[in-house]
Amino acid sequence: MQSISELLNLGGRAAIVTGGAKGIGFGIAYRLAEAGASVLIADINPEVGGKAAKELSDAGFKSDFIKTDVSEETEVKAAVDFAERTFGSVDIMVNNAGIYPMIPAMKMAVEDFKKIMAVNVRSAFMFTKAVAEVMIKQKRGGKIINITSIDALHPSSVGLAVYDASKHALWGFTKNMALELAPHKIWVNAIAPGGIQTPGVEAMQSQIKMPAGADPKAMIEAFMAKIPMHRMGEPDEIGKVVLF
């Protein structure tokens, strides 16, 4: 039986984290790298992504960055190929990239719907397929973690209907892929964070229009009261769960 320290030692393993430049993604990338994994940050923002990879490297971890539009199949394949060439293997895949524009469904254009589904769902399908092919070839199993949302279970706000639908889809995809890839010793799991304090969430909060006469402080207190610990989560806390 392996000890906890052995189980959490990822030396010799390589991971890809989509949307790993900041927020939850960077929290995940940091913890994986700290545990010894070589980490490829695949993100659409080259400036922020490059800085994130450098921060990991400066901390003594093995990390690299590749600019990736996760909604484009050619770029997904390029990222997986780059990770395999650079690190020699792909053992861990974290499908974290996601977008969540607050647009009521009745006002949403079809193109916006397609974009949300492409980034939040189709990207996970494409990365999972490409990475699983590598893992099967390697014959040593692997781990695929999909970052869904509490909104996959409980709607949190008007204006997120399509985002919620995308997270429901990712939840179902995760459960079925766990069955499909189990014979190859590839584990597929999902993590559904609630409110996490990230730049993206702060931007989304700024889009919320307060009802006339509403007290912003009272609304925040009411939201926090629904959380058992009465606070927002931190990206690093999700990183720890992924590592586990």
Residues classed as catalytic? 163, 167
DSSP string, 11-65: TT-EEEEETTTSHHHHHHHHHHHHTT-EEEEEES-HHHHHHHHHHHHHTT--EEE
Q: Are 135 and 146 in contact (CB under 8 A)?
A: no
62 CB-near residues (< 8 Å, 6+ apart):
33, 37, 38, 39, 56, 87
d(CA 39, CA 164): 29
d(C-alpha 13, C-alpha 174), whole Å = 22
Are the CB atoms for 116 and 101 separated by under 8 Å?
yes
Burial tier of 49 (Cβ tally within 10 Å: 0-12, 13-18, 19+) = buried
Residue 18 CA, chain-centre distance (Å), reads 6
Q: Which spans in the chain are helix H?
A: 4-7, 23-34, 46-58, 73-87, 110-117, 123-138, 161-181, 199-207, 216-225, 235-243
